[in-house]
Every structure is written in C-alpha cells, then in structure tokens.
Amino acid sequence: LDEGAVEVRTEAGPYPVTRAQGKVRITPHEAGRYDIRVGEEVDTRYAAVPSREVDLRPRKASEASLDPSLGATSGSVDISRWIALFLLALLAAELGVRTLGPRPQVSK
C-alpha cells in the first residue's frame, strides 16, 4: 500500500496511522467508532473497553500488595476534628480575654 492508501477517521477527526516493518498499524486509544479507508473501500470498526477493565466490584487485594516494604499497613487516624475543636476553644478564650480584660484608655 502506498502512503496515502490508508486513512482512519473518528468522530474527532483524522486518526494517526503508523507503519512498522511494512505493515500498517492502528492502535485505538479511545473506545468508539473508527472509519478505516483502504483505497476506495471504507470499513467501520468499533473499539470497546474490555469488561474486566470496567468491573468495579470490590475484590480481595493480592498478597503482594500487602507487603510491608511497600509502605505503612496501619490505618491513619483523622485528627482534624480535634484540631478544629482546639482552634474553636482558642478563639473562645481570646474573645473571653478581650471581653473581660482591661480596656485600654484612649487619650484625647
């Protein structure tokens, strides 16, 4: 096939065609419709995502992923609630000191 004999189009427009070792290769990067023109003949192909890549059901982690050398295996503790309460108490204490403390005298 000569250079312009193969053309691929998607909904987004023309799609790149690569040549390696005398063969034309088209590697779809997105699921969808691909119109392939070879000479005067047009063929429509569809690229789909394999169902095993879309399976979102929870499954057990492999033993290799639980290796302690990969990182911490203990859960982290969220202390943001305690920090927020501390800052709220600090604000209340400051307001109390400002309200009950001595007031500066303004000289005229």
Query: For 22-79, what is each residue's pLDDT tens digit?
Result: 888 888 888 899 999 988 899 999 999 888 788 888 888 888 887 877 876 666 778 8
Nearest to 26 by CA among 53, 47, 4, 41: 47
pTM of the model: 0.44
**CB-hemisphere CA count at 13 Å for 51?**
0
Which is more confidently placed, 81 or 107?
Answer: 81
Neighbouring-strand partners of residue 73: none
Residue 14, CA distances (Å) to 33, 35, 38, 48 in order? 12, 9, 14, 19
Position 2 scores a pLDDT of: 57
